Amino acid sequence: MVVLDKVLQKKHLSNIQELVLKLCWKGYTYAEIAENSGYDDDYIRDVGFRLWQTLSKALGENIAKSNVKTVLRRYYSNLAPAESQLSTTTAFQIPSSQQQQDWGEAIDVSMFYGRTVEQALLRQWIVDEKCRLVMLLGMGGIGKTALSVKVAEQLQSQFDFVIWRSIRNRPPIVDLMRELILFFSQQTEANCPETIDGQISCLIKYLRSQRCLILLDNIESILQSGETAGHYCAGYEGYGQLLRRVGDEVHQSCLVFTSRETPSGFTAREGETLPVRSLQLTGLSQVESQQILATKGLVDSTVECDKLIQRYTGNPLALKIVATAIQCLFDGNISQFLQQSPVVFGDLWEILEQQFHRLSANEKQVMYSLAVKQDWVTLKELQQYLIPQISERELLEALLSLQRRSLIEQQSGNYTQQTVVMEYVTDKLMGQVCSKIPVGEIQ
Ligand SMILES: Nc1ncnc2c1ncn2[C@@H]1O[C@H](COP(=O)(O)OP(=O)(O)OP(=O)(O)O)[C@@H](O)[C@H]1O
Ligand SMILES: [Mg+2]
């Protein structure tokens, strides 16, 4: 309500609007609200529709039932400390009325831990060094999306426009470009060009004349699977053109994107003194991981808990999944879980399946060999393990590609996998071996 008073200023919500907002906030459906309040279903829907319109207008961004909580929470955290009673948000500013923001389906990051080094580095790149293109890279669940939203929230006052979009549903590039151009022109660009090149030129015109922050999440969705990492799917090459030109051409804006894999053409462009940078995310620290476990009610600081965090290398999604399993299936007993449970299951298995299915035949071979070896190996050792053998060039290409997909670890010429990945690949390998043994042969 503090936020609403602030954004609606003299206007007040009617009693029914307030009721709809409160119950939507608690996760009720329109039908449930209607049932609770004795009003007609359609009437409540209509109240909701008008309410989101009023709030969208007042806040200058699209608000719907699905994102109202996230948006209002964000505004709350951006209010001055005296108003929000939060002393930790002093660095933020209330967006001025000139600022335009569209957060799309950005996730709620009010419970966000750590990543202080990454946040400082991104601020340095984006604000101080005026980088034009920044990539956040890392394996599934490591926290790319969460960090992208957090950083955008923190840096919003530095930009005239902020827009956050997920590419997970693979929108055609022309649709995305039209949306960006209309947003940055405040719906005034009447002659949106037809060609990709023309659209990108038009976009860059706006990126030059004003400070715009664009965040694109899940770029890996438009990269091909079954090939060396980084090639665009047929029909989506325009995204490559967009990233290349935003990185290469002079303007005063920044495009940040997240991906599980590095898109091709990126490596040659990025560099410490260039306006194109990439940040590889690794797991959270012990303390931050404990905070994640605590959000699921698992409060523990024993050696067992440390083992659990190490096993999942501080991957926040993995920690959330296992904390829930430990609570529900093991009455919160971590050591029982560690002794009895498979390392990879549920959503975590799903994510690794998705990542594994994208690999080329050579990459899969390398993954199996690394899992069999269970330890650091050199290039030469690895080559001996591979059946069928592949050339040194092919092996190098596969290793490079796996690194760009964040699936292997590299240290001075030695390679291995993270525990979770290794367990997953071992399970897969065992599954393949078992399926090849005729029924009845295992006694
Ligand atoms: N620093 C953090 N503090 C608290 N929660 C976090 C943090 N980082 C990530 N999370 C949570 O962990 C989960 C996974 O994070 P996120 O969705 O950002 O991962 P991702 O790298 O984008 O994964 P994917 O590749 O599948 O898109 C989310 O529920 C997110 O809110
Ligand atoms: Mg994500």
Whether ligand 1 lies within 6 angstroms of the CB of 292 is answered as: yes
Residue by residue, DSSP assigns 303-337 as: HHHHHHHHHTTT-HHHHHHHHHHHHHHHTT-HHHH
State yes or no: pLDDT of 139 exceeds 60.
yes
Whether ligand 1 lies within 6 angstroms of the CB of 140 is answered as: yes
The CA distance from 260 to 141, in Å, is 10
CB-CB neighbours of 273 under 10 Å? 6
> What's residue 173's pLDDT?
96
Task: Output the CA 247–ligand 1 centroid distance in Å.
Answer: 26
* Residue 289 main-chain phi, psi, to 5 deg: -65, -40
Residue 78: C-alpha distances to residues 2, 90, 237 (Å) = 12, 8, 38
State yes or no: pLDDT of 98 exceeds 60.
no
Q: 392: number of CA atoms within 13 Å, CB side?
A: 4
Contact of 206 with 257, CB cutoff 8 Å: no
Whether ligand 1 lies within 6 angstroms of the CB of 283 is answered as: no
Q: pLDDT tens across 275-285, in order?
A: 999 999 999 99
Q: 357: number of CA atoms within 13 Å, CB side?
A: 8
CA-atom Rg of the chain in angstroms? 24
Contact of 416 with 376, CB cutoff 8 Å: yes
Q: At what angle do helices 30-37 and 41-59 cross, to 10 degrees?
A: 120
Whether ligand 1 lies within 6 angstroms of the CB of 150 is answered as: no
Relative to beta strand 409-411, strand 414-416 is: antiparallel
Task: Output the CA 316–ligand 1 centroid distance in Å.
Answer: 6
CB-CB neighbours of 64 under 10 Å? 15
Give counts: helices (H), strands (E), the chain.
20, 9
Helix (H, G, I), strand (E, B), or coil: what is residue 146? Answer: helix
Structure tokens at 273: 């003194």
Cα Dmax for the chain: 79
Strands (E), 13-156: 100-102, 133-137
> What's residue 79's pLDDT?
58
Whether ligand 1 lies within 6 angstroms of the CB of 143 is answered as: yes
Identify the bridge partners of residue 276 per DSSP, sorted by sequence position.
133
pLDDT band at 95; cut points 50, 70, 90: very low
Q: pLDDT tens across 204-217, in order?
A: 999 999 999 999 99
Whether ligand 1 lies within 6 angstroms of the CB of 316 is answered as: yes
Whether ligand 1 lies within 6 angstroms of the CB of 95 is answered as: no
Query: What topology is assigned to 95-280 in CATH?
Result: Rossmann fold (3.40.50)
Kind plus residue range of the DSSP H or E element containing 132: none
Task: Output the CA 258–ligand 2 centroid distance in Å.
Answer: 7
Mean predicted lDDT score pLDDT of the chain: 86
Helix (H, G, I), strand (E, B), or coil: what is residue 429? Answer: helix
State yes or no: pLDDT of 120 exceeds 70.
yes
């009325």: which residue's tokens? 97
Task: Output the CA 317–ligand 1 centroid distance in Å.
Answer: 6
| Residues whose CB falls within 8 Å of the CB of residue 122, separated by 6 or more in sequence, listed in order | 134, 147, 151, 155, 256, 279
* Residue 223 main-chain phi, psi, to 5 deg: -100, 145
pLDDT band at 167; cut points 50, 70, 90: very high
> What's residue 99's pLDDT?
65
Q: pLDDT tens across 71-92, in order?
A: 877 776 665 444 444 333 333 3
Q: pLDDT tens across 174-205, in order?
A: 999 999 999 999 989 878 888 999 999 999 99
Of all residues in the chain, the percent with pLDDT exceeding 70 is 89
> What's residue 31's pLDDT?
84
Task: Output the CA 186–ligand 1 centroid distance in Å.
Answer: 32
Of all residues in the chain, the percent with pLDDT exceeding 90 is 49
> What's residue 195's pLDDT?
93
Q: pLDDT tens across 389-439, in order?
A: 889 899 999 998 898 888 898 888 899 998 889 989 998 888 776 666 555
State yes or no: pLDDT of 295 exceeds 80.
yes
| 357-436 and 95-280 share a CATH fold | no
Write down the H helix ranges in 358-418. 361-373, 379-385, 392-404
Write down the H helix ranges in 221-360. 237-248, 286-295, 303-311, 316-330, 334-340, 346-357
> What's residue 11's pLDDT?
62
DSSP state of 281: -
The class that CATH gives domain 357-436 is mainly alpha
State yes or no: pLDDT of 368 exceeds 60.
yes
Burial group, residue 179, by CB count within 10 angstroms (0-12, 13-18, 19+): middle
Peptide bond into 388 cis (omega under 30): yes
Domain boundaries, the chain: 2-67, 95-280, 286-341, 357-436
